[in-house]
Amino acid sequence: MYEILKAIHFLSFSIGIGGGVANALLGAKLAQAEPETAVKFAPVARLVGRLSFLGLILLWLTGGAMLSLAYDGWTGLPVMFWIKIGCVVVLTVAATLAQLMVLGAQVRKRPPNPARMAKLGMVITGSAVLAVVFAVLAFR
C-alpha cells in the first residue's frame, strides 16, 4: 500500500509542478498575444491550473496517508519536515488564491489580473521548489 501511495504522490507532484511551469510559460506568451489568441488559449491555462491544483490536493492526501503508515503520524518528525510543511502551506494558500481569482474572472467574464497571477505563480513555484529541497533534507 505504501508503494502505491508513494507512486501517486510522485505523480501528483509531477502534475503539480509540471502544470505550474507550463502555465508560467503559457501566461508569459499570452500576456504578449493578440486578444483573439489569448481567448483561445485561456481555457487551456484554466484546465492546466485545475489539474495542478488537483495534484496538490492529492499530495496532501497521499502524504498524510504515507506518514500514518510509515511514522505512526506526524509527531517526532525532524525540523526540516516542518519547514517543508510550512512551504507547502504557503504553496497551498497561493494556489487556492489563484484558483479563486480564475473562478472570479470566469464569473465576471474577464481574464484575471495578469500581474497578480504572475506574482502568485512565483510564490507557488518558489514554495514548491523549497518544499522539495526540505523534503530531501527531511527524508534523507
User: Structural domain boundaries of the chain?
Assistant: 2-138
Q: How far, in Å, CA of 18 to CA of 21, rounded?
A: 5
H/E segment holding residue 33 = none
Q: How far, in Å, CA of 29 to CA of 38, rounded?
A: 9
Q: Name the most confidently modeled range: 26-30, 45-49, 115-119, 132-136.
A: 132-136
Pick 134 or 71 by higher pLDDT. Answer: 134
**Residue 95 CB: number of other CB atoms within 10 A?**
24
Q: Which three cell numbers stand for residue 118?
A: 504572475
Q: pTM for the whole thing?
A: 0.87
67-76, 96-105, 110-119: segment of lowest average pLDDT: 67-76
Whether residue 101 is predicted with pLDDT greater than 80 in this model: the reply is yes
